[in-house]
Amino acid sequence: MSGPTSRRHGDGRPSPSEGAVIRARDLTFRYPHGERNAVDVVDLDVAVGEMVALLGPNGSGKSTLLRLLLGALASARGSVTLLDRPLADWRRDDVARAVGVVTQTEEPAFPLTVREFVAMGRYAHLGAWRREGPVDRAAIAQALDRCGLTALGHRSVLELSGGERQRTRVARALAQQPRTLLLDEPTASLDIAHEMSLFELLAELRQDGVTVLIVTHNINVAARYADRLVLLDRGRIAAAGTPDLVLTREIIEPVYQWTVAIRREDDAPQVIPQRKHPGMTRHHHTGRLE
Ligand code: ADP
Ligand code: MG
């Protein structure tokens, strides 16, 4: 298997010949009573088969941007084209059929089992009236397996840990077998093995031609897997391009307001936030870990 870096094509930018899965122009949105635009004149292109990571500090507009791309919020200004069709021409349930979505927060309201919850990902195909067929059952089983949930299939979603619940929501999106996946911080409460497994899975899907747009705070893992990074800062794109282009001290420090060092892993740049007072804790160290 080739490493994630070898999967990048050229400078990581979509070539003009490839169709754009997402194309946003001048996208602008302000919440009622908001003091500034949550998303401010954003241009974004995601090409077929690309994996793009959307980064940025808390409140920089990442979730709002995803909602605008899906038509869940209507922009005051600008346009979105989804799969070469203006978003305005899409019916909401057609968007749901075409794009797999993992939103940032969603508490399960009903005591469904994990399998039942993941099976809801098939509704986009089935409609509520049709019974599951063998194709649906295979898709559900594969989604459970890929998210390490097979053994939890009969558990109630109300009794899961935060990480298990999050993997259940990813599995539901995968059960849909979408060609385009939008994920909002899907690894936020996952341990390192589950987080890396999810990125490996996304890399696998990307190899199969699935287009991925993922919001994450794990800059360093994103740098190792994504073709391109898009960095938001107060609703605007502060930088976009290959990890090497975006992850520099000059770009990262003013956006996050923190001093960082840049190292390398897997031939990708890694952002290491620096301690403010190195050595101070060591001075008072008791020798205990807690
Ligand atoms: P991120 O996902 O990058 O953390 P968000 O898109 O959630 O950022 O938020 C962007 C900005 O919009 C923030 O200033 C946030 O406080 C504001 N905001 C988010 N959701 C709402 C809302 N429903 N109503 C008003 N303001 C909101
Ligand atoms: Mg968010």
Which tens digit of pLDDT belongs to each residue from 75-126?
Answer: 989 999 999 999 999 998 888 889 999 998 777 778 899 999 999 998 776 6
What's the pLDDT at 105?
A: 78
Count CB-CB contacts under 10 A for residue 91: 9
Question: 92: which 2 tokens?
Answer: 């909401």
- Does the pLDDT of residue 2 top 50, yes or no? no
What's the pLDDT at 279?
A: 60
What's the pLDDT at 280?
A: 53
Report the nearest atom of ligand 1 relative to the CA of 57: 3
- Does the pLDDT of residue 129 top 60, yes or no? yes
Burial classification of residue 191, based on how many CB atoms lie within 10 Å of its CB (0-12 exposed, 13-18 middle, 19 or more buried) = exposed
Neighbours of ion ligand 2 (CB under 5 A): 62-63, 104
Domains of the chain, CATH where assigned: 20-246 (3.40.50.300), 247-290 (no CATH)
What's the pLDDT at 12?
A: 43
Q: Where do we find the tokens 């209507």?
A: 74
Closest CA to 176 of 228, 135, 123, 215: 123
Phi, psi of 39 (to 5 degrees): -130, 130
Is any atom of ligand 1 closer than 6 Å to the C-beta of 31? yes
Which tens digit of pLDDT belongs to each residue from 22-33?
Answer: 999 999 999 999
Cβ-proximal residues to 8 (8 Å cutoff; 6+ apart), any chain: 227, 242
Which tens digit of pLDDT belongs to each residue from 142-172?
Answer: 999 999 999 999 999 999 998 999 999 999 9
Q: Output the residue whose Cα is nearest ligand 1's atom 24.
A: 31
Which tens digit of pLDDT belongs to each residue from 209-252?
Answer: 999 999 999 999 999 999 999 999 999 999 999 999 999 999 99
CA distances from 249 to 13, 243, 260, 274 (A): 22, 12, 6, 11
Report the nearest atom of ligand 1 relative to the CA of 36: 14
Name the residue of 64, 65, 213 to mutate for ligand 1: max ligand atoms within 8 A of Cβ: 64
The reported pTM is 0.88
